[in-house]
Amino acid sequence: MRVKVNGDLAELASGLSLVALLNSYQLKPEQVVIELNRQVPPKAAWAETFLKEGDEVEIVKFLGGG
């Protein structure tokens, strides 16, 4: 299926959850916020939130520094 991830078209396996998407990008859930189709789903629902053809995902990673 085709999904837009951070503005780029990505070809992904169907039935992919938000947690699985993060794993495929080697990102840790505690270090990011996800926007799915212009809404922010609660982290508790990420494992049960599955992507569909045409979805748009924005992943924002927190960076520490000082």
47 close to 19: Cβ distance less than 8 angstroms:
yes
Counting every residue written for the chain, the total comes to 66
pLDDT digits (tens, 9 = 90+) for 6-48: 999 999 999 999 999 999 999 999 999 999 999 999 999 999 9
Residue 37 amino acid letter: N
Pairing label, strands 8-11, 2-5? antiparallel
CA dist., res. 21 & res. 23, Å (int): 5
CA dist., res. 40 & res. 38, Å (int): 7
Q: Regarding the domain delimited by 2-61, which CATH topology (the fold level of the hierarchy) does it fall under?
A: Ubiquitin-like (UB roll) (3.10.20)
More confident position, 63 or 33 = 33
User: What six digits make up the tokens of 19?
Assistant: 């947690």
Quick check: 66 pLDDT over 70? no
